[in-house]
A and B are shown apart, each in its own frame.
Chain A
Amino acid sequence: MLSANQLTCIRNQRILFDELSFELESGQLLYLTGPNGAGKTTLLRSLVGLQQLQQGEVSLNGQPISDCGEQILYIGHKPAVNEWLSARQNLAHWFELTQQQADCELLLQKVGLGGLMDIPVKFLSAGQKRRVALVRMWQSDAKLWVLDEPFTSIDIKGVEVLTSLFEKHKKNGGYIVVTSHQTLPDELVDKNLHLTYRF
């Protein structure tokens, strides 16, 4: 169970959220919505332990989130893809970091980067760059997926593939927390959380 307990974050003298608590059972997806600047990204970053909070704690299966590094897959606004390296190199480094064995070539072919895996990511389109980051979801041992606007610059077919991946991950008992300005299919979403912009 993923549980957030009394999270409070104040940035630039503005309260983004205070005493926010929620729980997510295994196999559930939390859909986080809210206007720009409401603190969605900050909340996601604090869920994975990147953001320092004024108060509150997050735990995964009873363990504090800071001890659960290997169980988290976080894909944020910054894709963690180096523009000067090729898609294949980027992915290889990722799998080395997460200690996974994977066939990078096959994975990249699956996301439609078949002929483009050896040129620097710099020369790919925005959507293709995004795919280089998102391909991590195909082969992930992580329990908790925290995804910040995963659908940005992804085409319609890509969105379908992503939602099917979400379903698969839910069936396997994973947790998903996702923000998006696109609406997700209702059958996919188990919990909604709406953040409001506060002054």
Chain B
Amino acid sequence: MSYSNFFYQMLKRDLQLAKTQKHELGLPVLFFILVLILFPIAIGPEGGLLARLAPSVGWIAVILAILIALPRMFAEDYENGWLEQLFLSGYPGSLIVTARLVSFWLLYCLPLILSSFLLVPFFSFDLGLWWILLQTLICGSILMTCLGSLASALLVSSRKGSGVMALLIVPLLIPAVIFASAAQEAASQALPYTSPMLILFALAVFALTVAPIATAQALRLNLG
């Protein structure tokens, strides 16, 4: 089987599995939407303040929502032994990981990013600014998926993974949060925001290049 076909089969299996576990899939999105609903209620109907807070609330809620989903990235396949069969099959480990990264991003991150549109009605957030937030969230969620895959692979054999995972990932995400808010700030004052956006994009590309190799190695360590 060619690599592309293998990649496609991996994705197909992940999507098939997702269909059987809809409740797991919905939990992060539900959490995210609840934050977006509760926040304006708690702050009060002050349009200007809410609009100013909207991008940061969106970012924080996305980070926390992804953190809920991350421990599950490799856990099930590790427990039931499918992961060792994948590594025995002779396909490159980084290909296996990349397929999982893509399916994770599609299944968990994409719905979150899209539902950030709710910021527009709930926070009276400007539609043009939301468009920029969307771009920063796409880069940020890719970065987070990659960092998360490494942490998730390192912790896959330990049962108390989730707490440690937050400690591992969140500090590494801080640069992304800073550049995202810089881009947002600049855009809200109608200044050019290209440079923080490009740095964010570079971070995502770098993570996407390195993470599959590192994650595959971490998984191998945990299997042996």
Q: Do A and B come from one complex?
A: yes
Instruction: Provide the residues of chain A in CB contact with B89, threshold 8 Å.
Output: 69-70, 97-98
Of residues 42 through 67 on chain B, the ones whose CB sits less than 8 Å from some CB of chain A are: none
Given contacts A82-B76, A85-B16, A85-B17, contact A50 B87 (CB under 8 A): yes
B101 to chain A, nearest CB (A): 19
**Contacting pair A74 B90 (CB below 8 A):** no
Instruction: Provide the residues of chain A in CB contact with B16, threshold 8 Å.
Output: 85, 89
- Residue of A83, A89, A96 near B80 (CB, 8 A) is A83
Shortest Cβ distance from A122 into B: residue: B20
- Residue interface mask A96-124, B partner, CB < 8 A = 1: 11110000000000000000000010000
B223 contacts A by Cβ under 8 Å: yes
**Contacting pair B20 A48 (CB below 8 A):** no
Assembly CA distance A82 to B21 (angstroms):
12
Shortest Cβ distance from B223 into A: residue: A50
- Residue of B20, B81, B82, B90 near A120 (CB, 8 A) is B20
Given contacts A93-B13, A96-B1, contact A80 B84 (CB under 8 A): yes
B224 contacts A by Cβ under 8 Å: yes
**Contacting pair A82 B80 (CB below 8 A):** yes
In this complex, how many residues of chain B approach chain A with their Cβ under 8 Å: the count is 25
Shortest Cβ distance from A99 into B: residue: B1
Given contacts A48-B88, A50-B223, A84-B17, contact A96 B9 (CB under 8 A): yes
**Contacting pair B20 A80 (CB below 8 A):** no
A56 contacts B by Cβ under 8 Å: no
Shortest Cβ distance from B9 into A: residue: A96
A23 to chain B, nearest CB (A): 22
A55 contacts B by Cβ under 8 Å: no
Assembly CA distance A58 to B113 (angstroms):
48
- Residue of B76, B77, B82, B88 near A69 (CB, 8 A) is B88
**Contacting pair A78 B81 (CB below 8 A):** yes
A21 contacts B by Cβ under 8 Å: no
B126 contacts A by Cβ under 8 Å: no
- Residue of B9, B88, B224 near A74 (CB, 8 A) is B88
Assembly CA distance A123 to B60 (angstroms):
39
- Residue interface mask B151-172, A partner, CB < 8 A = 1: 0000000000000000000000
- Residue interface mask B20-54, A partner, CB < 8 A = 1: 11000000000000000000000000000000000
A65 to chain B, nearest CB (A): 10
Given contacts A50-B223, A78-B80, A82-B80, contact A97 B85 (CB under 8 A): yes
A119 to chain B, nearest CB (A): 11
Shortest Cβ distance from B90 into A: residue: A69
Assembly CA distance A76 to B78 (angstroms):
13
Shortest Cβ distance from B21 into A: residue: A84
A147 contacts B by Cβ under 8 Å: no
Of residues 63 through 92 on chain A, the ones whose CB sits less than 8 Å from some CB of chain B are: 67, 69-70, 72, 74, 76-85, 89
A131 contacts B by Cβ under 8 Å: no
Residue numbers of B with Cβ under 8 A of A are: 1, 6, 9, 13, 16-17, 20-21, 76-77, 79-82, 84-91, 221, 223-224
Residue numbers of A with Cβ under 8 A of B are: 45, 48-52, 67, 69-70, 72, 74, 76-85, 89, 93-94, 96-99, 120
Additional 6 contacts, C-beta under 8 A, given A52-B224, A79-B80, A80-B84: A50-B87, A69-B88, A80-B81, A82-B76, A97-B86, A120-B20
